[in-house]
Structure 1
Amino acid sequence: MRPAKVQKVCTSNLSEEQKQRLYVLMGYAELTLLYKASVHGYDASAFHQRCDRQGPTLLVAYNNSGYVFGGYTSVDYTQSGQNVIDEEAFLFGFKDKTFVSIKVNRGHHARLDDSGVPNFDHLYFCYNNQPRVHNQGGQAFTYNSATFFGNDTILRDLEVYKVEEISQDSVEEKPWRNVQWTAERRDELVGLIKNYEPLESSVNRVQILMIGPVGAGKSSFFNSINSIFTGHVTNKAMAGSSGTSLTTQFRTYPVKDGRQGKPLPFVLCDTMGLEEQSGAGLDIEDINCILQGLIPDRYKFNPVAPFEHDEQKASRSTSLEQKIHCVVYLIDATKISLMSVKLEEKLAAIRKKLNSLGVPQIVLMTKVDEACPLVEEDLQKVYVSSYIKTKVQEVSSRLGVPVSCVLPVKNYSQELELDLSCDVLLLTALQQMLRFADDYFDDISPVEGPLPHK
């Protein structure tokens, strides 16, 4: 009996992280795999059969040295026999955590649109219909082949994707999260938060630490929450737009139930903004001290030197009440794709530390109205916006958190009066923080003492 023929699977080898990097250059898009050389063959005819007249395409090559490299063209393959001018064309390359992009030089043709193998200027893929790349040293793109693909010309695979831009106005058939946009729901959330009691009886108020890049909206988030419970828009914490952090001190902000009301069962802790370069912004060592409850309110940060705590005091364990019970990352929805590798590495280092301590983490994706025209028109469309959904997925991928932990919000910035939709998003996020804090208390190490039964 003849053995069954093994069917080759046509699946993408491009990682989610690599896609996110490429979206910065192409704009957020949907990638559809058209052609895979290891499945369809390395010859030019197979490539053209599947890739001609498909609009913008992304070519991705893989070699045995671990390089992932290729190019993007916004102009169709049509076998016209003409040189193609494409000012949007670029080459790219990945190796481990290194990413390079090379724009087409002005005044040069990006590629030749003939019936041969795919090419970018004089860089040929599947050369002579074989699994190899051939560089004849063109002038349209300036790169070093040693750093671009390690001078390894043998291809492990080659893929071509159709690139379709995702419209910021596109709408999902049904909401991808269910939210009740009613005054009754708003009032219910306010009541739940006012009446909340931490699961750990030794803790009166949950300590929530806000972390994020400069300008992401940490201080604005506190102002927005404070506004809801005050009954009108307030601006207690310094907030605004600046290239450097407006917050220079560690601040612990309690929130009252009305101006003369009692303190509510949570405290929002504000910090300096994170910055990508060393010697600027919040130091990771400072964050560790904040988590342990060692840094006092109004301590002024020194970006070039971390907090120096009293060794004698530090040796005595701080109480559970003083420690951080939940961490919230605030990320600007309009700048997610522009996040630098260095900043991403800083956030990864912070997450690693928090994970080791068992501290729960949530991401607030701010400025969703500025990111999507559909949401700017109507905030209640945030959970039917395909664009916001893709941004939530991008945040999840780049920060390494579950999608369920990424919450879109809009802070009060220009408004003079409270808004129902804005309140519902903000209060829903705050309720999740309190729930996550209870998860922390429930999962706390036995050395902290047994939890009481309520």
Structure 2
Amino acid sequence: DEAFIISLTEKRDSAPKRLRALLGNVKLSLLYKASVHGYKASAFHQRCDRRGPTLLVAYNRSGYIFGGYTSVDYARSGQHIIDREAFLFSFQGKIPVCIKVNSGHYARLDNAGGPNFGQQLYFCYKNQPVVLNHRGNAFSVNMATMYGNDTQLTECEVYKVKQSNSAINKQWRNVLWTANRRAQLMGLIRNHKTLVTSVSRVRILIIGPVGAGKSSFFNSINSIFMGRITSKAMSGSAGTSLTTQFRTYPVVDHHEGRLLPFVLCDTMGLEEQSGAGLDIEDISSILQGHIPDRYKFNPMAPFQHNERKASRPASLQEKIHCVVYVIDATKISLMSDKLEEKLASIRRSIPQIVLMTKVDEACPLVQKDLQSLYVSSYIKSKVQEVSSRLGVPVSCVLPVKNYSQELELELNCDVLLLTALQ
């Protein structure tokens, strides 16, 4: 009977295999299949109670694949369950989008009914092949996007999730998470010398969508070399760009009391609609070294430099030497074609790097332990997706975690940020 069920699952869809990317190196074994065992809550609990972490995968008539993960046993306890590792997912193309449970909210109610997440999303509701959106705040998710407003289920499966020992600690990039490595990276950056003597500091332009973490990256780098958390550049999570000026940020090495050999140039965020966000023509002016520090962007009209300045080409010292795209790891699959076109319109003659931020929010494995970053197959798939969509080599896509809520510096964060900067 069990072999029959598993064989049906394998023929039906490769979703469980793809979902392993969200959970790291795990084994998935089928516990419950509604089309075989019935859509009754009693059948679900009989097969899934006290089986440890589980992954629920639902399918509807419109072809959506969605569900959720919980690390806490089902037990019909009647309790509200706190589970910081819980998340919902939905397939948007080939890569699943992961939605973490919001801070301060319960992940689910452990009652005798069908499985629910946050008392917000109910599967096999009232013993029927349907999903119910009860509305709630536990998960910030658009249900129409998640399952296309099609509440009729064609299947509901639950898998036991077991950590696999075979590939643990097998990193796909080698990183030394040590204090010595942090010190070595800081030394390499402090002592960097440009090949051209007329350029004393490398000018690095940071661009990307609103809220991706451009200003936060500068604040994080500044914090490392100050030896404490700082917030010099305005950052936040507003829907429109908090940065309205072109800002050039030199960084002072607190240890040695001198400027470091680079300048981070912050810009207004890219937005999809016209008349909002950074203008493509402004990017060209920045690259050519024409836009001065503290220039206030006008989304309705690009920068106009006067004829006298235009007659004198900017020096190599004034131009941009490297472009860094900052992309939110949790929103890569949602990136629109328009935004992709804006990024692609930038000249290809300048060295380019991609910073993939918020990796801890994108992958539960990484949120639990940042050192799992280069073990996570989900993060690896995101790196490959960014590389493909933006046309940069995989080796130029660097996952980072900016400082945002922390009150003190943390070794693993520092190593990632300094590796990206170096």
Residue aligned with 1:359, SS: coil
Contact 2:340/2:390 (<8 A) preserved: yes
Residue aligned with 1:216, SS: coil
Alignment partner for residue 10 of structure 2, among 29, 45, 54? Answer: 54
Compared CA separation, residues 332 and 105, structure 1 to 2 (3 A): closer
Q: Deviations over 1:274-302 (max 9, x none)?
A: 01111110001000000010000000001
Q: Deviations over 1:251-287 (max 9, x none)?
A: 0000001188111110000000001111110001000
- For 2:270, the equivalent position in structure 1 comes to 274
2:376 alignment partner AA: S
- For 1:362, the equivalent position in structure 2 comes to 353
The alignment status of 1:224 with 2:180, answered yes or no, reads no
1:344 alignment partner AA: E
Q: Any unmatched runs of 5+ in structure 1? A: 1-50, 59-74, 79-84, 95-100, 112-164, 432-454
For 1:420 and 1:281, how far apart are their aligned partners in 2?
34
- For 1:250, the equivalent position in structure 2 comes to 246
Contact 2:61/2:154 (<8 A) preserved: no
Residue aligned with 2:324, SS: strand
- For 2:280, the equivalent position in structure 1 comes to 284
Instruction: Give aligned-pair identity as a percent.
Output: 70
1:391 alignment partner AA: K
- For 1:87, the equivalent position in structure 2 comes to 60
CA RMSD of aligned residues (A): 3.4
For 2:162 and 2:259, how far apart are their aligned partners in 1?
41
Q: How big is the shift at 1:103?
A: 7.0
Compared CA separation, residues 387 and 308, structure 1 to 2 (3 A): same
Compared CA separation, residues 383 and 313, structure 1 to 2 (3 A): same
Q: How big is the shift at 1:316?
A: 1.5
For 1:109 and 1:391, how far apart are their aligned partners in 2?
29
Q: How big is the shift at 1:349?
A: 1.4
For 2:419 and 2:162, how far apart are their aligned partners in 1?
24
Compared CA separation, residues 106 and 186, structure 1 to 2 (3 A): closer
For 2:162 and 2:205, how far apart are their aligned partners in 1?
32
Which TM-score applies when normalising by structure 2?
A: 0.64
- For 1:417, the equivalent position in structure 2 comes to 408
The alignment status of 1:321 with 2:277, answered yes or no, reads no
Q: How big is the shift at 1:89?
A: 2.8
Residue aligned with 1:334, SS: helix
Compared CA separation, residues 89 and 305, structure 1 to 2 (3 A): same
- For 2:172, the equivalent position in structure 1 comes to 176
Q: How big is the shift at 1:341?
A: 1.4
1:361 alignment partner AA: Q
Contact 1:250/1:296 (<8 A) preserved: yes
For 1:209 and 1:430, how far apart are their aligned partners in 2?
12
Contact 2:214/2:326 (<8 A) preserved: yes
Contact 2:61/2:150 (<8 A) preserved: no
Which TM-score applies when normalising by structure 1?
A: 0.60
Q: Deviations over 1:174-216 (max 9, x none)?
A: 1111111111111111111111111110000000000000001
Compared CA separation, residues 108 and 205, structure 1 to 2 (3 A): closer
For 1:371 and 1:109, how far apart are their aligned partners in 2?
27
Contact 1:327/1:360 (<8 A) preserved: yes
- For 1:372, the equivalent position in structure 2 comes to 363
1:360 alignment partner AA: P
Contact 2:201/2:261 (<8 A) preserved: yes
For 1:290 and 1:363, how far apart are their aligned partners in 2?
18
Contact 2:208/2:214 (<8 A) preserved: yes
For 1:276 and 1:295, how far apart are their aligned partners in 2?
23
Residue aligned with 1:407, SS: strand
1:90 alignment partner AA: G
- For 2:372, the equivalent position in structure 1 comes to 381
Q: How big is the shift at 1:313?
A: 1.1
Alignment partner for residue 198 of structure 1, among 182, 194, 209? Answer: 194
Contact 1:90/1:102 (<8 A) preserved: no
Compared CA separation, residues 362 and 298, structure 1 to 2 (3 A): same
Q: How big is the shift at 1:381?
A: 1.2
Residue aligned with 1:281, SS: coil
Q: How big is the shift at 1:315?
A: 2.4
1:305 alignment partner AA: A
